[in-house]
């Protein structure tokens, strides 16, 4: 399990470079997910199903949500082709896989000092690799326009690391920043090193030039400061964050223009499309996740080349994805789950708030990279 965790972290740091695609790009498998499944098999052999059965009472809302996703998927199964149902089913399997992995990882770490140290060491490895790969990308590969043909947004002079998306990269940077802030002693007991690393990831966040990311981090930090009555700290944070934003390089390109409006208009249009799909099935939704095929049916995207568009199977908001695919009830269960997790585990409150706010403008909560990192990081505060 120790070796699997180190290898999983390494392959995760490769981001989109470690992706294998099938059926055009309708099915995407990441190399680290193979090791996530392998690690889950090891932990299943060690603990059997006990971690899952023990978690039913504590996380009842999660299982209600998953059951509803399965039910809404089955209700609409006759309206789609076999391959479309198969692809949608794989999305459902993935989200359940990450949840199950998180439950077993928590059991492996709870009360086990050696396992906790292994996780700390793996996070140290992740931090080093993310810093290295992101710096190399920003300095030597600042233009993603040559991959437009493969369905990627043409990010220019922005930091996206190996994740090829500024919002996903920003979510990763933000989660690592919070990991260092709340439980950074496991990474390094040297306060100077911890603060230096936090500043590095704050700079990385600035270099994404994502305004919703800036706002989400500031609100989460402000909420923490108010609850803990650390008003001087939040003033220092706002001053430092604001100074970094003002001093950040802004070369040619609309992407680094913080006053840009085209992204706002595109999001509004995207939200309207999500509501059009939801109106067709307001209670149960179309099933998680058949969005790509529902968009084609409603002529929201062209069928030719639709499998190459990475945004084809999503919307800019994770909440609208859940609303369209599982209906109003599914969205209620999803929000209840997030609130329940924040209440059950206070250290999870701020990362979940940060990701939820960010997910209003970009789909990060349901992204595999963010899901994996979230369950891995949140295993640390659970440790006794």
- Residues 242 and 258: their CA atoms lie apart, in Å, by 13
Above pLDDT 70, what percent of the chain?
96
Residue 89: count other Cβ atoms within 10 Å of its Cβ. Answer: 18
Q: Return all residues near 52 (Cβ < 8 A) that are at least 6 apart.
A: 100, 103
For residues 218 and 202, the answer to whether their CB atoms sit within 8 Å is no
Residue 8: HSE in the Cβ half-sphere, 13 Å Cα cutoff:
23
Q: Quote the pLDDT of residue 383.
A: 46
For residues 288 and 92, the answer to whether their CB atoms sit within 8 Å is yes
Q: Quote the pLDDT of residue 307.
A: 67
Global pTM reads 0.94
Beta-strand runs (E) in the chain:
19-22, 27-30
Helix axes 60-75, 82-109, angle to 10 degrees: 170
- At 142, phi and psi to the nearest 5? -80, -5
Render 308-375 in DSSP notation, one character per residue: G-GGGG--S-HHHHHHHHHHHHHHHHHHHHHHHHHHH-HHHHHHHHHHHHHTTTS--TT-HHHHHHHH
Beta-strand runs (E) in 221-291:
none
**pLDDT per position as a tens digit, 97-134:** 999 999 999 899 886 778 888 888 999 999 999 999 99
**CA distances (Å), origin 294, targets 79, 80, 84, 298:** 10, 9, 10, 6
Instruction: Write down the residue that tokens 């199964």 correspond to.
Output: 77
In the chain, where the domains are located:
2-382
Smallest Cα–Cα separation from 5: which of 100, 111, 117, 128?
117
**pLDDT per position as a tens digit, 159-205:** 999 999 999 999 999 999 999 998 888 888 899 999 999 999 999 99
Instruction: Write down the residue that tokens 């639709």 correspond to.
Output: 306
- Residues 152 and 166: their CA atoms lie apart, in Å, by 11
- Report residues of the chain scoring pLDDT below 50: 382-384
Q: What's the CA angle centered on 279, arms 276 and 283, to 5 degrees?
A: 140
φ/ψ region of 151 (left if φ > 0, alpha if ψ in -120 to 50, else beta) reads left
Smallest Cα–Cα separation from 348: which of 312, 366, 373?
373
Do you know the residue count of the chain?
384
Q: Quote the pLDDT of residue 151.
A: 73
Smallest Cα–Cα separation from 168: which of 373, 376, 367?
367
């Amino acid at each position: 399990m120790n070796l699997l965790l180190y290898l999983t972290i390494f392959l995760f740091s490769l981001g989109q470079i470690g992706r294998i695609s099938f059926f055009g790009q309708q099915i995407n498998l990441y190399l680290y997910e193979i090791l996530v499944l392998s690690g889950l098999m090891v932990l299943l052999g060690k603990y059997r199903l006990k971690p899952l059965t023990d978690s039913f009472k504590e996380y009842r809302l999660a299982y209600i949500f998953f059951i509803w996703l399965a039910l809404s998927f089955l209700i609409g199964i006759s309206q789609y082709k076999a391959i479309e149902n198969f692809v949608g089913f794989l999305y459902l399997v993935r989200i359940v896989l990450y949840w199950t992995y998180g439950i077993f990882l928590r059991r492996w770490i709870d009360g086990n000092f050696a396992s906790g140290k292994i996780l700390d060491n793996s996070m140290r490895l992740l931090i080093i690799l993310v810093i290295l790969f992101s710096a190399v990308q920003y300095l030597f590969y600042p233009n993603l326009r040559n991959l437009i043909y493969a369905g990627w947004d043409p990010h220019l002079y922005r930091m996206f690391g190996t994740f090829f998306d500024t919002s996903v990269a920003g979510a990763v940077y933000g989660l690592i920043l919070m990991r260092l802030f709340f439980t950074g002693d496991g990474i390094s007991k040297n306060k100077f090193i911890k603060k230096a690393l936090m500043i590095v990831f704050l700079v990385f966040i600035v270099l994404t030039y994502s305004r919703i990311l800036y706002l989400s981090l500031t609100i989460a930090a402000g909420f923490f400061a108010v609850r803990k009555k650390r008003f001087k700290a939040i003033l220092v944070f706002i001053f430092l964050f604001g100074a970094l934003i003002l001093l950040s390089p802004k070369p040619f390109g609309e992407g680094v223009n913080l006053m840009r409006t085209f992204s706002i208009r595109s999001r509004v249009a995207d939200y309207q499309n999500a509501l059009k799909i939801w109106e067709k099935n307001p209670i149960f939704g179309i099933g998680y996740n058949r969005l790509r095929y529902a968009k084609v049916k409603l002529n929201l995207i062209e069928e030719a080349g639709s499998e190459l568009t990475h945004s084809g199977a999503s919307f800019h908001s994770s909440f609208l994805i859940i609303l369209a695919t599982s209906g109003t009830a599914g969205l209620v269960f999803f929000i209840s789950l997030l609130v329940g997790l924040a209440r059950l585990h206070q250290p999870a409150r701020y990362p979940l708030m940060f990701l939820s706010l960010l997910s209003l403008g970009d789909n990060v909560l349901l992204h595999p990279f963010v899901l994996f990192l979230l369950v891995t990081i949140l295993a640390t505060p659970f440790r006794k």
